Amino acid sequence: MSLFQYTLLHQDAQTSARRGTFETAHGVVDLPVFMPVGTRGSVKGVEISQLEATGSQIVLGNTYHLMLRPGAEIVRELGGLHEFCGWKKPMLTDSGGFQLFSLAKIRKITEEGAVFRSHIDGRKIALTPEDSIRIQEALGADIAMAFDHVIALPNTRAAIEDAMFRTLRWARRSRDAHTREDQALFGIVQGGLEYDLRQRCAEELAALELPGYAIGGLSVGETPQEMYDCIDAVVQHMPADKPRYLMGVGRPEDLLEGIKRGVDMFDCVMPSRNGRNAMAFTDHGPMRLRNARYERDPRPLEENCPCPACRRSRAYVRHLFVTGEMLGPILLTIHNITYYQRLVAGARKAIEEDRYQEYYAERFAQWREGVPD
């Protein structure tokens, strides 16, 4: 029996939302789950014990950035990514494909892989599917991603089709290069907003019998509704007995929309990045703490939030940002990740009780109301 077991615990009665678990070498992950992004082996400004206190179960690391600094072999020598950063729970590393998409001006894609220039020192570097897997095996995360070709949307069908078929070829090469039995390899479905291409990609990846599958190449220029429609089209063609991961998404609304459609895993920099920029996520929508309305506000960000930011007043957290104190971004990052974890924990409980549609409707109604005065 494979180490990596997906178990469906309950299917919501009214939606496609599902409550499950996924077993890894560093523990069992409760699904649906949100994964904070620790790009360089660190969620910016958050110490490991603080991250654990948010309720986070699994953290994402970035292959592209870690291969440049400190280097995958250094991480391997120091015991792998878990030992290197001190996170003892499950970890996932991306393939580097999305970073190469974001570096479009300094990279070239060929059938062999990608050739790019380091954003740090300009040196020329080649990255192939085999290289990506070798690096991810050196990093030693519990879940590694197959190397894929991401392109911007909107785009021509010809370009989207070319990238989709290349993604399939690279997925097979990634599978053939992968050797670690204690590391799950996930495939990535590409195909833009062309539903037939997405479906073909999903079906051909399923034939590789990998431990899990992701939907990639969304939140790259399309509207939220286009993304949701695409998820609807592709999820039904993904294996029901494997985790489904929507990569790089997103807002709290996007998480609930994805869960409603049968997605199990999410990651996004939004809670940490927005936290560093004075935005707090709450049950009543985003709160922009630099706003003068909070200058004398004695209330916590949220009454029912257990995070350290919510043990202070809105006025104090605002003061930290206005005066440039580094504690402000730290506190709001912790709050936002805690909020995301509370959101998905609530979703898990609602699915178990067959009331996900009610939970979904309640959250959206509160977000529409906005932050009360």
Structure tokens at 9: 């615990």
Give the Cα separation of 131 and 133 in Å (integer).
5
Q: Which residue has 């894929």 as its token pair?
A: 148
Cis ω for the linkage preceding 250 (within 30 of 0): yes
Active site residue 94: yes
User: What Å distances lie between residue 286 and 152, 271, 327, CA to CA?
Assistant: 27, 11, 19
Give the Cα separation of 209 and 336 in Å (integer).
36
User: What Å distances lie between residue 168 and 67, 69, 113, 153, CA to CA?
Assistant: 24, 29, 13, 19
Given 12, 148, 267, 297, the catalytic residue: 267
Q: In 3-state terms, what secondary structure has residue 190?
A: coil
Active site residue 373: no
CB neighbourhood size of 88 (10 A): 12
Q: How many residues does the chain have?
A: 373
Pairing of strands 27-31, 18-24: antiparallel
Given 12, 94, 283, 297, the catalytic residue: 94
Give the Cα separation of 18 and 258 in Å (integer).
11
Catalytic residues: 94, 267
